[in-house]
Structure 1
Amino acid sequence: MAASIDPNRKLVAPEFDLNEDQLAVFTATMDTFIAKLNDKEVQELTEQLCGQPNSIHTAEEIKEFAQHSNSSLNNWPIVKAFLNRALAADKRQELAMILTLLSLRPGSFLLTGHYQRFQDLTRQEREQVVLKWKNSYIPQLRLLYKMFFSTTCHPTYGARDSGLHRGMQYPGTGVAEPEDKPAPKERFSLLNYDDLVPQVKFDAIVIGSGAGGGVTASELAKAGKSVLVIDKGKYYHEDDMELLESTGFANMYEYGGFFSSYEGSMNILAGSVFGGGTTVNWSASLKLQHFVREEWARQGLTHFISPKFARDLDRVFERIGASTAGIKHNGANSLLIKGCQELGYHSADLHQNTDGKSHECNFCFTGCKDGIKNGTMNSWLRDAKDHGAKFLDRSKVTRVLIEKGRAVGVEVIVHYDKKVTIRADQVVVAASSLHTPGILQRSGLTNKNIGQNLRLHPCSISFGFFDENVDCFKGSIMTAVSNVAENVDSEGYGAKIEVPCLHPGSYSTVLPWRGAAHHKSLMLRYRKCAPMLILSRDKDSKGVVRSDANGNMVVDFELSNHDRQSILEGIERSLKILCAAGARELHTGQFGVDPFAFQAGEESRVDNPRFVEWLDKVRKYGLPQDGAGIFCAHQMGTCRMGVSPKMSVVKPTGETWEVKNLFVSDASLFPTASGVNPMVTTEALALHVADSIIKQSAGTSASKL
C-alpha cells in the first residue's frame, strides 16, 4: 500500500483501506453510535424535549434529527480521512484485525457473545454489545468502545456543514468581526529550497516557533544575531484561517486533532502550526504559582525565585498584552462564577493575551482570524522579523549536526521534499515536549532522561444542563478560573476548574455514550449545556515520549492513583459548582456513573439528599483505567532542566549536558508540571535561555541559576 502523510506531514503510515467485510463491520459500528431512531424512540425524544421549560425545538425538527444515521450522511470518507490522520501504522493494523474478528462468527462470539457476525446483528443487539464494552471490567473492551465511539462521532459531528448541525441549532462560523479589529498584518516572508542552496550559515537556528522558539528567536535577533526559525507546521496568515472545527483540527494540530497515547488511556491535543500552541490556544495567560517556583528552586534551580524571573514574567505579560480589561464572560464562564459565588468558592477572571480588547471569537482554537490574540505570530516573531530573522515552514529537522562535541547546524527536509544542511554557530531546539526529544536522540544524544518525565495536566469534563440556553460555543472561550480544588488537603492533590469551548465534534465525544437515542437527546440539548474543565497537576504519573518504527512520535502514559485522585477532587467540586449555578441535570465523564437529574419543581441544591448520595457514587466509582474520558492539551517536561546530567537533560542555562552550543528552549525544560496553562512560564523561561546564549556568545560566563 502507498504511504500516507497527512496535509502537514505529521504522520507516515500505510493508507488505511478496508476490505468488504471489514468495511461492513465498521459501517455497522458507525450506524450504532449515530443511528436512525425508531418511531417509539422519536416519540419519547419529542415528549422529553418539547415538554422541557424553554423548549427550543419543534416536533418536526426532532424527527428530522432522529432520522439521521452515519450511513445516511455518507460520512465514511470523512471518517477514513480522520483515521488516516490519527492512527499510526500499528494501530491501524490492530483496528483492521479487530474488524476482521468481528466479521467472522467465532471472532464475533468472542467479542460480543453472539454467534452472528457483528454486521448481521440488529441495531438493538449491537447497541447492547457496545454498552457491555463500555461498562466491562476488562479495560481492553472499554478501550474498544472508546476507539469506535471517538472515531465515529468526532469527525461526523465536526464535519463542515454536517446535516446534524441544524438539529443542534449550531450556527457554524457566523462570527461577526469586532469593531476594533486590527488592520491586517503583513504576511511573513518565508524561505524556500532555492534560498538555502548553495549552503548558507546563520548565527543561530531555532527549531520551533511557539512560546519557546518565538521568544528565543526574538531575543537573539534583537541582540544582532542572524537567526533562522524552522517549523514543521504550516504558516497561516489571519486571512487564510477558517473558522471551522474540522479544518482547524486537520490543519493545525498533531495528527489532525486529538490522538491517543499508545495504550489508549489519554487523548492528546497539541498544536502543530507556525506559532505552535500559541496560535491555537485559548488565550489563557497565567503566571507560574509561588509553590511551583519554590518547588523548582528546591531542585537547585534558584532562578525561579529570583527577581529576574519575576521581571521576566512581567515582561511576558506586557509583550503579549495579558489583561482582564476586555473580558466578557460567555454563558458557561458566567455560570462558573455564579456557582463559585453561591458556595463561597474561589473564582477569578483569567488574563487573556488580547491587549485588553474584547475577543468574542468562538474559534481561537483554530487560530485568531481577527488578529487580536497575541500568539508568537503577532508578537515575538514580529519582533524577530523586524530585526532580520528568516523563517522556514513545513520543514522537518531530521538531526542537529555535531562536530567535536559542538552543534554546528542542522539537517532539514525542506517542505518535506528536499534535504539540505544549514550551518549555524548555535542551535536551539524548541520543537515542543513531544518533538524536542526525538530531534536530540536522532542527533546522537544519549542522556537517559531524554523523552522521560512527561507531564500532561490530565483533564476531565463535567457537564450541567440548564433550563436556559448556555451556548458554550459562543463568545470568549476561556475567561474564568477557580482554584477551589487545588491543594485541598495534605496529600497535595491539585486541580483547577476552567471552562472549555466545545463545538459539535468535541462535544459529541466527551459525554459518555449510553445508547443512540440518549446520545441524540444530549446532542439536541447542546445549547443548554455548560461544561466545566478539571485541569489537574500531575505529579507521579509515568509519561514517556518515543518514536515508532516509522519515526512517528508516540506517547506512553500511565495515570497514577495520586493524580487520579486530583482529577476526582476536581470533578466533585465542579459538580457542586454546576448544581449551585442552577443545573437541572449533571453528568461526569465516568463511564459507569449515570447522570443525576433534579425532579420537576425540585430546587437545584448541593444539600439535596439524592444529590449528596449521587456524589458518593461519583467518588466510589473513581477513575478506573479506560473507564472515563481523560485528555490533555499541555505537554511538559521531556527534556527537563536540572543541576546534574543524572537527573536532567540540560544545564540551568538551557544548554544540553552532552553538546556545546546546543540549547533547549520550550516547555520540555519544566522540572515538574507547571499546574497552570504553560504559555507564560515557557516564554519567561525562554527569555532566560536566550539571555544565557547571548552572554555565552559574548564570551562571558552565563549567569547560573
Structure 2
Amino acid sequence: MVTRCIREAALLAWVVLWVLSTRVGTLLLCGRLSLCGAAGELRRFADMPAERQEAALQRWNRTRWLFPLRIVFALVKILSHYVFYTMVDENSENPHWKAIGYSVEEWQRDRDEAPATSRPLDNGVIETRALNDTTLLRSLADRWLPVKPGAQHTVQCDAVIVGSGCGGGVAAAMLASAGYKVVVVEKGDYFAADDYSSVEGPSMERLFEKGGIFCTSNVTTMVFTGSTVGGGSAKLRIEAKVSISACGALMTPPLLRNSGLKNRHIGRNLHLHPVSMAWGYFPENKQAVPITGKSYEGGIITSMHRVTPRTIIETPALGPGAFAAMVPWESGRDMKERMSRYARTAHAFALVRDRGSGFVDCEGRLRFTPSRDDARELRNGLRHVLRILVAAGAAEGGTHRSDGLRLRCKGVRDEDLEAFLDEVTIEKGPMHSTADKWAVFSSAHQMGSCRMGSSPKDSAVDGSGESWEAEGLYVCDGSLLPTAVGVNPMITIQSVAYCLSKGIAESMTNGQKHY
C-alpha cells in the first residue's frame, strides 16, 4: 500500500517513523509529551501513554510550520484507516464491519463460488503474464495475428491502440467494424461484470489505478482513475499503419513524452473537476415518516443538481474504507463515534468545472491546485450542500476540513446556520503551511492534458486527434478535451472518440491524411 504513495511522502514517513523509534527523536518531534512519569522519563513514541500519543497526533494535525509532520499524519491516517476497514479474510469478512453497521449481501460473496462462465472478451484477450515465448506465439497465431520471425516478436496489424477505456474501446470497435485488424494493448487486468463484488477493498484494487490510492504530488487531491482489462509484461514489437494513444488524461502524456514527442502542451492543461464533500448524520427515528435505509445501499450516484453554471451537487456512495480515509480525525474517541454512525451518515459533494489547470510529467506524476475562482465556486457549492443536508433533517452536519467543522442541526436558528456557513472555507492540502487547517479534494474525472486545437502553438494534437509531430499517431481519450466539461465526461469522450476514429478509418481507406 505504501509503495503506491508519492515517493517523497513515503520516504518522509519512513524517516519520521525511524526518528520516533529513538528517544532523542521523539523529544524533537513531540517535545514535553515525551517526558513521562513523575520523574519525567524520556521515552520513545511507542512507549508513551496512549493519551500523550494522541496529543502528539493532534498537534501534528494542526501544526502550521512543521508541515512535513502534517503530511506524515495525513498519510498514516488515510492509509491505516483505509486498510483497517477494507481488509477481508478468506470469507470476504471484516470483524469490524458489524460495529459500524456495514454488511455485504450474501449473493455478492457467493459469486466466487459460482461456476465459471465464458466472458465477452475471452476469445480475444491474451494474458501475457502466464505465457512463455512458445505459448505467446501460439496465442497470437490463434487470433490471426501474424508475427514476423526474428529476435523480437513483431506483430503486424493495421492499428494499435494503447488503452481500452472510453476512448480506446470506441476506437477499437469503429476500426474493427471498418474491416481493419486492431490490436489493443492494456496494462490492467481483464475483469467482466461477474468478477466484481460489493467488497470494497478487492473491487478498488481491480477497478482503479494504484488501487484508488493515487494522489497529486503536491498532496491536494485524491484521484480515482480506472485501470482494467488485459495485463502482463511481455515485450512485443507492433508494426501498424496507425497508432492511437488512449491511456487517459493521466497516462497518455507520459507515453507521448517517453516516445520522444516535444510539444510543450503535452501534459499541460489538466482538468480534474475538483470535489469537496460534506456529510449529514441521520439517526434512526420513530417519526411519522421515518428515514430508513443505510448510506451505502442503492446506486453509486443517486442524484445530481446544478446550482450554478459551473457547479453541480451529487450524492455518492462511500464504502467504509473510503469513508474512514476521508472524514476528519480529531481524536480516537471522535473517530470511533464517526465510524459508529457510518451507516446513517449521508454524503453529498460539490463538483466544479475548473478553470485552473494542472500538469502531468513524463513519469505520470501530477500537480494540481484549484484556482481562487474555482475555490470560490467550491465554497459556494459546499454551502449549498450543507443547506440541503440541514433541510433534509440531518441531526448533525459538517465538512471534511481537518479541524472537523460541524453543526448540531436540531432546533438550529437561521442566524446560527448562516454563521456556521460563514465558517465554511476551502482549504489547501497538508503541504501548504499558511493555515492550521487543511483538506484534501477528490477527483474522478481527468481531462485536457493533450488538448486538441488548430495550431501546435496552443495544442498537443490537431482537430483530427493526430499529433503535430508524428504522422499516423493519434490521441483518442479524455486528454483531448480543450476544457473541463462540468459533468461526467464519459459520454463526451465516447462521442469524440467515435467521430475521430470514424475519420481515422476513412483516411486509412482513402489512403490520405484526415482533417
1:253-402 residue pairs with structure 2 within 5 A?
253-274=208-229, 393-394=230-231
1:617, distance to aligned residue in structure 2 (A): 1.3
Residue 110 in structure 1 maps to residue 38 in structure 2: no
Task: Name 1:278's counterpart in structure 2.
Answer: none
Task: Name 2:312's counterpart in structure 1.
Answer: 496
The AA in structure 1 aligned to 2:71 is L
Contact 2:220 2:441 (C-alpha < 8 Å) held by counterparts: yes
Structure 1, unmatched stretches of 5+, are 1-81, 178-182, 275-392, 395-414, 488-493
The AA in structure 2 aligned to 1:501 is A
Task: Name 1:93's counterpart in structure 2.
Answer: 11
1:34-113 residue pairs with structure 2 within 5 A?
82-84=1-3, 86-113=4-31
Task: Name 1:450's counterpart in structure 2.
Answer: 266
- For residue 205 of structure 1, the aligned residue among 160, 163, 168 is 160
Residue 224 in structure 1 maps to residue 179 in structure 2: yes
Task: Name 1:530's counterpart in structure 2.
Answer: 346
The AA in structure 1 aligned to 2:46 is Q
- For the residue of structure 1 that corresponds to 2:306, the secondary structure is coil
Task: Name 1:126's counterpart in structure 2.
Answer: 53
Residue 640 in structure 1 maps to residue 451 in structure 2: yes
Structure 2 CA distance for partners of 1:572 and 1:184, relative to 1, 3 Å: farther
Structure 2, unmatched stretches of 5+, are 35-42, 110-116, 129-135, 141-146, 149-153, 285-291, 431-437
Distance 1:159 1:136 in 2: 31
Distance 1:268 1:200 in 2: 35
Distance 2:121 2:176 in 1: 19
Task: Name 2:122's counterpart in structure 1.
Answer: 188
Structure 2 CA distance for partners of 1:92 and 1:143, relative to 1, 3 Å: closer
- For the residue of structure 1 that corresponds to 2:240, the secondary structure is strand
Structure 2 CA distance for partners of 1:92 and 1:135, relative to 1, 3 Å: closer
Task: Name 1:477's counterpart in structure 2.
Answer: 300
Contact 1:464 1:584 (C-alpha < 8 Å) held by counterparts: yes
Distance 1:462 1:210 in 2: 30
Distance 1:640 1:501 in 2: 31
1:616-631 residue pairs with structure 2 within 5 A?
616-618=422-424, 621-626=425-430, 627-631=438-442
Contact 1:511 1:589 (C-alpha < 8 Å) held by counterparts: yes
- For residue 677 of structure 1, the aligned residue among 466, 488, 497 is 488
Distance 2:403 2:7 in 1: 31
- For residue 142 of structure 1, the aligned residue among 60, 66, 70 is 70
Contact 2:176 2:182 (C-alpha < 8 Å) held by counterparts: yes
Residue 238 in structure 1 maps to residue 170 in structure 2: no
Distance 1:632 1:502 in 2: 14
Contact 1:695 1:702 (C-alpha < 8 Å) held by counterparts: no
Equivalences, count = 459
1:421, distance to aligned residue in structure 2 (A): 0.3
Contact 1:593 1:617 (C-alpha < 8 Å) held by counterparts: no
Deviations 1:540-594 (A, max 9, x none): 14x111244xxxx312222322222221111100000101111110010112353
Q: What RMSD, in angstroms, separates the aligned Cα atoms of the two structures? A: 2.1
Distance 2:280 2:95 in 1: 26
Distance 1:185 1:200 in 2: 25
The AA in structure 2 aligned to 1:437 is P
Distance 2:293 2:16 in 1: 40
Deviations 1:137-159 (A, max 9, x none): 23444322211110110111112
The AA in structure 2 aligned to 1:104 is T
- For the residue of structure 2 that corresponds to 1:460, the secondary structure is strand
Structure 2 CA distance for partners of 1:175 and 1:531, relative to 1, 3 Å: farther
TM normalised by structure 1 equals 0.62
Contact 1:184 1:238 (C-alpha < 8 Å) held by counterparts: no
Distance 2:189 2:428 in 1: 39
Contact 2:220 2:429 (C-alpha < 8 Å) held by counterparts: yes
Deviations 1:425-481 (A, max 9, x none): 001110111111111112111111111111111112100011334412111121310
Contact 1:636 1:668 (C-alpha < 8 Å) held by counterparts: yes
1:597, distance to aligned residue in structure 2 (A): 0.5
1:89, distance to aligned residue in structure 2 (A): 4.3
Contact 2:224 2:443 (C-alpha < 8 Å) held by counterparts: yes
1:185, distance to aligned residue in structure 2 (A): 5.4
Residue 610 in structure 1 maps to residue 416 in structure 2: yes
Distance 1:455 1:103 in 2: 41
TM normalised by structure 2 equals 0.84
Task: Name 2:405's counterpart in structure 1.
Answer: 594
1:112, distance to aligned residue in structure 2 (A): 2.3
1:525, distance to aligned residue in structure 2 (A): 1.0
Contact 2:9 2:72 (C-alpha < 8 Å) held by counterparts: no
Structure 2 CA distance for partners of 1:125 and 1:437, relative to 1, 3 Å: same
Residue 686 in structure 1 maps to residue 497 in structure 2: yes
- For residue 152 of structure 1, the aligned residue among 74, 80, 93 is 80
- For the residue of structure 2 that corresponds to 1:499, the secondary structure is strand
Q: Which runs of 4+ in 1 moved over 4 A?
A: 700-704
Distance 1:540 1:629 in 2: 17
Task: Name 1:665's counterpart in structure 2.
Answer: 476
